[in-house]
Structure 1
Amino acid sequence: MPNSKKPDFSRAYSKANEILVKSSAIQTFPLSPKDLVKEQTPIVCRSFKKARKYGVDITAFGSESAIIMSFQGKKIIFYDETKPDTHNRFSILHELGHEINGHDFSKKDEDTYHRYEVETNYFAAQLLMPEQILRECQNRGARINRFFLQTNFGVSAQAADKRIETLARTNVEWRSRAEKEFDDIILIKYADFLNRICLIRNTYNFEDEYIRQQERNSWF
């Protein structure tokens, strides 16, 4: 009987939030995925080029971006060093998400694999582009578009577009108390970054607010 369990978005989101609050490796954005992996786990990051030097067959990975695997008694995230940094940030954090979310790869069914992939994508996106920061930027009048996300968070166009799509489907009022636990702390911790990319407006402009509301309406 296939595993029909749905992705646990709440767990992935909450685990990412906890890291955002407690991590010393993340002080601003774009973040360093390798520094975060080193801080959070005993996992090491190695390039596909280094994998070849180890004699590891990268063609057997089944991934063109990154993969987490056990090698000589320790876990390694292998990643494609020829890809842009914007790509590798997401790929490495995606693999970290498997570890942080306790994914059991002894389960081989397709439904479980798909669920794991969705959860880790959600986890990585929250670390790279925290929802709390994006909502606050929007409240301050910023237009959350592809250019804004790529410029300030160092993500790919694909990751930026997917993040905007996800935010459009998410109603913050539906979040549980546990999911909102770190909201204020995240905004306080990254206040310098927030103020650098999006200053607080001192005046209220009805025309600007109308434009922002039209943009919000287009999300639904």
Structure 2
Amino acid sequence: MIIEEPDFKKAVQTADEILVSSKEIKAFPFMLIPVIMEYTDFELRTFGWIEKKGISAKDSFLSNDAELKKKGGMYILFYNEMMPPARLIFSCTHELGHYMLGHPIDSLSRMRDRNDPKFLDLYRICEVEANFFAAELLMPEPIIVELFKRGCKITEEFLIKHFEVSREAAKKRIELLRKAYDWNNFNRYPDSCNYDDIIVEKYKKFIDSIAPQKFKYGYSLEQDLELEKQRETWV
């Protein structure tokens, strides 16, 4: 498996394909376990389950939150049930991303531990892609952009309130949006995915619950000016 840099397009598109096709995701936040069951045959086990068997979870996993392991051809998602729900959901979605993106699950820990910079770089690339996948699935860019178009101010507090993510995840999401979106023209940067309109239409009820659409045939001059002010504050 040779990768030179993160495939951001693949990570986002894979998440968008789930958003479009999933029968379990109807609004945000959503129940993650049914989605995992919808797309995988994972076994799920808690860190507490490991501890009851006399095995130290701390010594068994690199992550304090969640980790996907491949045992005898079967995938097991171990998760720390003591972590705050928002943080845990992002971590588990991150692990789902490794699987959906075809990362070498059984080799990731060895990549991290090896001294060879080539393997460490590959590990970091897989981590970045999994983070992009998780961010898009939990806080879809097309939905955030549509909410922005309707006059919502996209802040950490806004994402925490409506998507029930951790502050750290909300902060990183905003940072990524600043880099990956052309806010002047409401367009993703080159090689964007083709699912934006489908996602906005599928989750219209959720979007309307936050920001009912006031202008059916475009925006007024006043609204355009207000959006421009908002762009200057956070983009």
> TM-score if structure 1 supplies the norm length?
0.90
2:114 corresponds to: none
The 8 Å contact of residues 9 and 193 in structure 2, kept in 1 or not, is answered as no
2:213 corresponds to: 200
1:114 corresponds to: 124
Percent identity of the aligned residues? 38
CA–CA distance in structure 1, aligned partners of residues 102 and 148 of structure 2: 33
The 8 Å contact of residues 32 and 89 in structure 1, kept in 2 or not, is answered as no
> TM-score if structure 2 supplies the norm length?
0.85
CA–CA distance in structure 1, aligned partners of residues 228 and 84 of structure 2: 35
| Cα deviation 1:109-137 (Å, max 9, x = unaligned) | 11011000000000000000000000000
CA–CA distance in structure 2, aligned partners of residues 8 and 17 of structure 1: 14
2:165 matched to 1:155? yes
Shift of 1:184: 1.1
Compute the RMSD of aligned alpha carbons.
Answer: 2.0
2:153 matched to 1:138? no
| Cα deviation 1:146-202 (Å, max 9, x = unaligned) | 1111111010011001101111111234242xx432111111110110100111123
2:165 matched to 1:166? no
Q: Partner of 1:12: helix, strand, or coil? A: helix
- Give the 5 Å matches for 1:1-220: 5-60=4-59, 61-71=61-71, 73-105=73-105, 106=107, 108=111, 109-171=119-181, 172-176=187-191, 179-202=192-215, 209-220=224-235
CA–CA distance in structure 1, aligned partners of residues 40 and 23 of structure 2: 13
CA–CA distance in structure 2, aligned partners of residues 34 and 22 of structure 1: 16
Moved segments of 4+, more than 6 Å: none
Amino acid across the alignment from 1:186: I
CA–CA distance in structure 2, aligned partners of residues 153 and 86 of structure 1: 9
CA–CA distance in structure 1, aligned partners of residues 213 and 48 of structure 2: 45
CA–CA distance in structure 1, aligned partners of residues 154 and 131 of structure 2: 20
CA–CA distance in structure 1, aligned partners of residues 83 and 120 of structure 2: 27
Q: Partner of 2:50: helix, strand, or coil? A: helix
CA–CA distance in structure 1, aligned partners of residues 101 and 55 of structure 2: 26
CA–CA distance in structure 2, aligned partners of residues 30 and 88 of structure 1: 13
Shift of 1:205: 6.2
Does the C-alpha gap of structure 1 residues 43 and 55 become closer, same or farther in structure 2, counting only changes over 3 Å? Answer: farther
- Structure 2: where are the runs of 5+ without partners? 112-118, 182-186
The 8 Å contact of residues 24 and 34 in structure 2, kept in 1 or not, is answered as yes
Shift of 1:72: 5.7
Amino acid across the alignment from 1:188: E
CA–CA distance in structure 2, aligned partners of residues 152 and 218 of structure 1: 20
The 8 Å contact of residues 149 and 227 in structure 2, kept in 1 or not, is answered as no
CA–CA distance in structure 2, aligned partners of residues 124 and 175 of structure 1: 21
The 8 Å contact of residues 66 and 95 in structure 1, kept in 2 or not, is answered as yes
